[in-house]
Structure formats: structure tokens, C-alpha cells
Structure 1
């Protein structure tokens, strides 16, 4: 890897805690919200797909500003079918659940040339209490004027924050890449799709992925790689990372047509 490619990984390295990371008495695990998926449940028209824009975001006690889960402008909408997942672009940091979390949303369906012609999918806010939110992933329906969105989430107890960085280098030819994360929540393993797209050249994936992981449990990352025109099945690779209060770990996956670096940085909420 080049110096330029390594720099984003260095920037995410955690600061040392006094007297050292292993005996830190400043940072602790806490209950956190993990959103596993968003799904377009209902749309008002019988069409194969719709274009969505707007935002879904969370506010917690740590920072009252919006922590975006989805944030799309009208100039850059998402094309989604009814019953399909809505691509999540966040959160940018962990969502704490030591008190209630407010999830706000304003999502619209493009209908015409002007914004005033568009349909309001969902608009409003829902609060999730740390006491009543289950520790196993549960689905809640957000109903709106012109459809509904299903949000699946859980309260992860005694959790730490995992920040995932991905670098793709030494690309020999284009390929499709999907990245999923699997964590133990409520005593069983659950997955979340983080990334799915085509890769044509060496790059640092500009989006960082933040997960809530129960302390001392294992998070598994699954990479699925497919090459256009290949007669073989997609290639799958797995990496495991154990949750800690501090520190980071790197893994390199060397493929025939690319090299993929994964870095997971662990941190606790202040």
C-alpha cells in the first residue's frame, strides 16, 4: 500500500489513554442503538420502482445534532422498489441509548419536474426508549401520507463502537464488491449490509461504517467478490475482530485481481 492509501487509516487511530489503553478508567462500554435495515414497505403507486430523497437521522444525549442514517438530496435520489432495502449511508458515529433516542425523518418520492409535485413518503419523529427497546432486532413500521418505511433496530447492551475502513488497491480488473457485518445481539448472530457496488480502480471507500458491538464479542466481516464475465461463483472471504474498549486491527485479503485492506478501530463512548 502507498503512503497516500495508508493515511486515512492513520487518521482514525485512537489516542492513547492514561496510563495505557488496557487499564483505561475513563471510557466504558454502554448501551447503543444499532439500525440493521431500512425497507420501503409501501408505496402508493403500482410501479416497478420510485426515486426517494430526504433524510432519516438520530439524535441522542451525546450530541443533539442530526446523526444521519440516510441523507439524499433531490439531485441525487435513491431508486428503490417496494419491499427493497433503502441504502444506509450512516451513522457517522455510534448512537448511545443511555437515554431515549429520537429518530427523525423526512423522505419524499419524486413525482414531477418540480419539488412541489413530489409526494411525502414519511415525515415526523419517533422516540425509542432505552428501557423498552428490545435487545433483539425488531421491526417498526413508520407510516406516512404516501407509503411506509420499515426500520429494524435493537438496543445493544454493553456495547463499544467499531469504525470500519476499507481500502482497495492493486486492482487488475473491475469487479463487484459487497461488504456485510455480522454481530451477536440478544444471544444470536445478525447481519447488516454495509456496501454493495462495482469497483473499477484502486480506491479508499469514502464511506466509513460504524457498528455497535457487544464488548468482548466477535464481529465478523464478510466480503463477497464477483468478476464480470467470470463463469465461476462469487468468491467469499471472512474476517473476525474481537471487540475492545480501545485499539484497532487490520486484515489484508489478497485476491487474484485486487488487494483489500480492512481496518476496525474500537472506541467507547465518552
Structure 2
């Protein structure tokens, strides 16, 4: 989106994908390369450290998103600024708050959003094809959304019968949110529903776990804030070759139309 202001700068909200530099898009690499300033959360800055040598780097912790957005807008009045955001900046990322702050302050800074690989699709690619058709993404973080609203959304989404990709599933500050969410989901899904937990997708320490909904309900200890939990839909199944569990398949419907 381009503004009609007279500023010479540009604010690029850059999606850095799951964390591996190889997963960045060419457009993201170009925006970072051209930036004079790079701003972002400590974790995401560290993941792209080889790309930002010689640039002015501003790191800020979680919880400082509004101040980070305002600083980026201020700098972008006269400079090229890259605001880096993990996954896709428009999916639980920085694009929303930056544009909100720009709107509320009447900023005329030129802003562009560079899309990227979001955590749901990164995790899905690690375990086959669990999100082949319609699916729902939900976050269990109640820092910005009341739990009553999250619970209502979980209930409706589970009733749809499509796969669910759950962000922010479990943390030290809210260890029981996932248990509560699984209880809601279980009202609409069988115990044998395929489930995947993918931790640190495309980052060091990556883990892939395939199980059933009942098995995850019995022990959620493997799940943390670096995890994405994918709950299969009504047609999802575990993909095996012999006794080797390869992942999860959610048929898109080709079997209804073609012979293969």
C-alpha cells in the first residue's frame, strides 16, 4: 500500500517464515537487503542474523509490539525499514498492529507487507498433507482474546469437521489451555482422530509427533509455545507405509471423482 505523503522512506513488514533462512521468499530477502534499519523481536532477529550484518538493528522483547510499531513508523519517514515478523506477518504477526498504529496516528508512511510461510503450513509440510482443503487456524493465547471467545470459536470450528491448526497451544503461563481446548474439540471428534505436534518446524531441534486425539489428551507435556498442533478432520487418516508412520492425509475429494 502506498501513501500520498512526501516521505522518502519505506516500511517493509517482512515475513521471515518458520525460521530457516532457506524458507524466506526472494521478496523478503530483497526487502531485508535494502533496509537501513531492521526491527523485530529478539528471536526473529537472531534467526536472520547472517542477513543483517552492517545494518542498524533494533531488538525488542515480546510485549513491546505497540512501541516497536511506532518506532518503525517514525524511522520509516526518512529511511528504509524492515520490520521482521516470524511466519506470515499477517497471521498472528506484526502486520496488524503496525497498520493499526499507522491508521490511528494518521501516518502517511509508505507501507508494504511481504508475505511468507506461516507456521500452520510449515508444520503441515513436515507431516504429509493434513490441510489439503478447508481448515481453521486458532490461537489459544488469551493475552489479547478472552478465553470465552476462544472457547466459542473452538466449539464452532470443531463442529465443522475440518482440520484445525492450533497456534500458541501451551505455555508455562497458561499450561491448561490446551487441555481445555482438547475437551471442547472432543465433543465433535472421535478419540482416534489423527493429531500431529510439530515443534520448531524448519529450525534446530525440530520434532514431529503423530498420534491420536485420545493419546494427546492423555499427555500434553510434549507441547510448548514452539509447537503447532494439527487436529485432523473427519476424513483425515494416519499415513503409513507398512508399520512406518509417515504423516497425516486429509483427502481433498479426488477419490469421489477419479479412479486412482
**What is the TM-score normalised by the length of structure 2?**
0.25
From the two aligned structures, give the one with the greater helix fraction.
2
